[in-house]
């Protein structure tokens, strides 16, 4: 018999520490859950507290903003154009704004009452408001919408033509860079060791009340690297301040004592503005001894090698009448306004001027930083006082006489940009009214000239009509009038590619010459549309001789200098550091002059500058914001955001919040 089997079970003794760990971990998990719940509750409470803090802060912020705007309006000056010019366009915008607000009120009422009048019969309409709304819809569909569609289609066609022109210019610029096309100088242009081989050059510096910049303008011209016996500098002073005249005379005397061939000229009667000043200077007998004339405005400070980089291009090229250098800006990063101006002008020089110079040998003279062959000036009729754009006038007449022009993109001259919106607005008004004056005067001469049909067509259709007339016309009409109107006319709504895709693409092309400005793409697009009202008003006033189309306002300067300028002036500043820095004139002593200057400061204290209020821009701001509210009701999306930000852009400009802020 087999023995019985005994099963022995050996249990592993339980580890007390392990049991303790299990108990601890479960307790820890329960505690963690409790802590997590509490933390989540506290996070929610904190977020709710922040929301209420923001809600309580929002009214205070709106109140502070309202008070600051009220203070700005109370302390600002109305700096629009004179009432005659402002009245026509401003009254039209006000009437349009009033009608838009009335239409918006009716649309809001219809929206919240869910009126769908397409389902109503005329006898089913109840109430005066509902009847007015039905009449408005009928009148809108039958009369306003067809006219708006026709006008919008016309402006869209102009917009596409101008965009295509700009695209062609950009392609031409890319081709120039790809082929590395640029004007070259003959190696044997001048014999450096023989000063007599250098041509006789005249430098003209026209100025008028340029207290801040006259010293650096004269100094930069006097430090030009050119044989002194082959160079003459004319300081053409039109200032009406006697003390400033004396200061400029003393500055000229200082450089004359250093051996510089420099002359001071002052006209008692300032007729013809800058053109009259240059015309008077060219009438001097000694000018016939000179072959070329370089012109610099008072805020331009060319490098000492400027003449050696420009004048040699005339050697062996008898048909060349003008060599134009590019502008560079010492204050381009001063504020948002100067940054946006820099984008515009970089495109103008890098693309427009360079492409026209390479392929057409013609472009508009920029009025400064250029060298003219005096023979070309004389054969083209000289400086005329008939418009406010005498530089464009002489360039067009020289082109009609067969003279060629060269633009040097790699030769740059430092200058200033307007830092305040008031100054920039006046400058743009002159720049856009003058070409229309000139077009009216030059059209018969263009048609009867002996240049080719292609050059005539380029002058009339591209240079004047497309770039000087059509551009400001469609910019203002399409984006400031038709677009807000279409928010109340669903039948005439503009497509997205008109208000968004193409404008952004064209703005992208405009910024390419200044790649550091890419962060300002959207502000640039909005600001260009904002400036369209000024350019449109100037274009109309110049074309029909209205308002201030013949008014010349000198652009205010701040006198900023670059580091290179300061180094160049170090020698002159060290010489004038002693106590005998007041120069004596023949008629009176320096102490007498100093006492007169102090008396002038006491009698005529400096007027405190103020920021302005611009009515047309404010009216358009409220118009666009009204249209944005209507677009919001219809959930238009892109249309709403465009109108909203464009309206805010007009509001900022109308309150003069862009550019230099006066204390």
Catalytic residues: 238, 391
- DSSP annotation of 78: E
How many Å apart are CA 204 and CA 299, to the nearest integer? 13
Residue 541's nearest CA partner among 160, 84, 215, 18 is: 84
How many Å apart are CA 580 and CA 583, to the nearest integer? 8
Residues forming a β-bridge with 264:
235
Strand, helix or coil at 656?
A: coil
For the record, the structure tokens of 647 come out as 């309206």
Helix (H) or strand (E) holding 632, with range, is helix 615-633
Residues forming a β-bridge with 235:
205, 264
Strands 231-237 and 262-266, bridge-based pairing: parallel
Inter-CA distances, 247 with 93, 209, 216, 333, 438, Å: 48, 11, 13, 31, 36
SS3 content of the chain, % helix, strand, coil (to 5): 65, 10, 30
CA angle, residues 521, 167, 150, in degrees to nearest 5: 90
- DSSP annotation of 302: -
Residue written as token pair 């106590």 = 579
For the record, the structure tokens of 68 come out as 């600051």
Residues forming a β-bridge with 405:
322
Could you tell me the end-to-end alpha-carbon distance of the chain, in angstroms, rounded to an integer?
A: 121
Residue 343's nearest CA partner among 329, 355, 357, 353 is: 329
Strands 404-415 and 612-613, bridge-based pairing: unpaired
**CB 410, CB 324: distance < 8 Å:** no
Residues forming a β-bridge with 612:
77
How many Å apart are CA 456 and CA 451, to the nearest integer? 7
Radius of gyration in angstroms for the set of CA atoms belonging to the chain, rounded to a whole number: 35
CA angle, residues 505, 510, 515, in degrees to nearest 5: 105
Inter-CA distances, 254 with 249, 578, 582, 588, Å: 9, 15, 11, 17
Question: What residue spans of 303-415 are helical by DSSP H?
Answer: 306-310, 336-347, 354-359, 374-379, 390-400
- With 0-12 CB in 10 A as exposed, 13-18 as middle and 19+ as buried, what is 381? middle
- DSSP annotation of 301: B
Helix (H) or strand (E) holding 612, with range, is strand 612-613
Q: How many CA atoms lie within 13 A of 475 on its CB side?
A: 26
How many Å apart are CA 128 and CA 630, to the nearest integer? 22
């Amino acid at each position: 018999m087999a023995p019985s089997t005994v099963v022995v079970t050996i249990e592993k003794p339980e580890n007390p520490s392990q049991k303790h760990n299990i108990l601890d971990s479960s307790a820890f998990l329960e505690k963690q859950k409790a802590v997590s719940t509490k933390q989540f509750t506290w996070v929610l409470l904190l977020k709710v507290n922040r929301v209420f803090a923001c809600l309580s802060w929002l009214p205070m912020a709106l109140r502070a903003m309202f008070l600051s705007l009220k203070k700005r309006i109370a302390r600002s000056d109305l700096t629009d154009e004179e009432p005659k010019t402002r009245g026509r366009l401003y009254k039209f915008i006000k009437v349009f704004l009033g009608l838009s607000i009335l239409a918006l009120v009716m649309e809001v009422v219809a929206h919240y009452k869910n009126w769908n009048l397409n389902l109503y019969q005329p006898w089913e309409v109840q109430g005066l408001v509902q009847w007015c709304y039905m009449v408005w819809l009928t009148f809108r569909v039958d009369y306003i919408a067809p006219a708006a569609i026709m006008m919008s289609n016309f402006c869209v066609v102009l917009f596409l033509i101008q965009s295509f022109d700009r695209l062609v210019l950009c392609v031409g610029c890319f081709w120039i860079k790809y082929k590395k096309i640029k004007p070259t100088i003959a190696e044997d242009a001048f014999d450096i060791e023989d000063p007599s081989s250098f041509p006789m050059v005249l430098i003209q510096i026209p100025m008028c009340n340029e207290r801040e910049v006259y010293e650096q303008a004269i100094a930069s011209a006097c430090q030009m690297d050119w044989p002194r016996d082959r160079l003459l500098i004319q300081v053409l002073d039109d200032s009406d301040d006697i003390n400033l005249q004396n200061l400029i005379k003393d500055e000229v005397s200082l450089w004359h004592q250093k051996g510089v061939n420099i002359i001071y000229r002052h006209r008692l009667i300032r007729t013809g503005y800058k053109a009259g000043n240059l015309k008077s200077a060219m009438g001097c007998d000694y000018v016939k001894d000179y072959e070329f004339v370089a012109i610099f405005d008072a805020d331009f400070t060319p490098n000492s090698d400027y003449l050696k980089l420009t004048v040699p291009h005339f050697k062996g090229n008898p048909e060349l009448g003008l060599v134009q250098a590019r502008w560079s800006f010492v204050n381009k990063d001063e504020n948002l306004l100067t940054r946006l101006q820099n984008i515009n002008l970089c495109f103008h020089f890098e693309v427009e001027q360079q492409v026209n110079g390479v392929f057409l040998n013609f472009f508009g003279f920029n009025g400064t930083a250029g060298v003219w062959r005096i023979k070309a000036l004389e054969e083209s009729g000289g400086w005329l006082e008939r418009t406010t754009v005498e530089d464009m006038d002489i360039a067009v007449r020289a082109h009609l006489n067969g003279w060629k022009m060269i633009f040097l993109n790699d030769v740059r001259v430092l200058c200033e940009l307007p830092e305040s919106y008031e100054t920039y607005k006046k400058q743009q008004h002159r720049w856009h009214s003058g070409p229309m004056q000139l077009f009216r005067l030059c059209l018969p001469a263009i048609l009867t000239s002996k240049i080719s049909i292609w050059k005539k067509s380029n002058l009339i259709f591209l240079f004047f009509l497309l770039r000087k007339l059509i551009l400001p016309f469609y910019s203002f009409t399409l984006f400031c009038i038709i677009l807000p109107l279409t928010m109340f006319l669903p039948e005439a709504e503009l497509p997205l590619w008109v208000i968004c895709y193409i404008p952004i693409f064209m703005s992208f092309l405009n910024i390419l010459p200044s790649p550091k400005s890419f962060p300002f793409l959207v502000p640039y697009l909005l600001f260009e549309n904002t400036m369209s009202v000024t350019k449109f008003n100037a274009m109309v006033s110049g074309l029909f001789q209205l308002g201030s189309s013949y008014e010349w306002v000198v652009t205010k300067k701040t006198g900023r200098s670059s580091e290179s300028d300061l180094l160049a002036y170090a020698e002159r500043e060290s010489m004038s550091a002693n106590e005998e820095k007041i120069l004596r004139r023949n008629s009176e002593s320096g102490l007498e002059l100093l006492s007169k200057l102090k008396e002038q400061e006491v009698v005529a204290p400096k007027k405190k500058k103020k920021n302005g209020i611009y009515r047309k821009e404010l009216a358009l701001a409220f118009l666009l914001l009204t249209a944005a509210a209507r677009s919001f009701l219809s959930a238009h999306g892109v249309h709403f955001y465009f109108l909203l930000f464009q309206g805010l852009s007009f509001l900022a400009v109308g309150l003069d919040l862009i550019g230099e802020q006066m204390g």
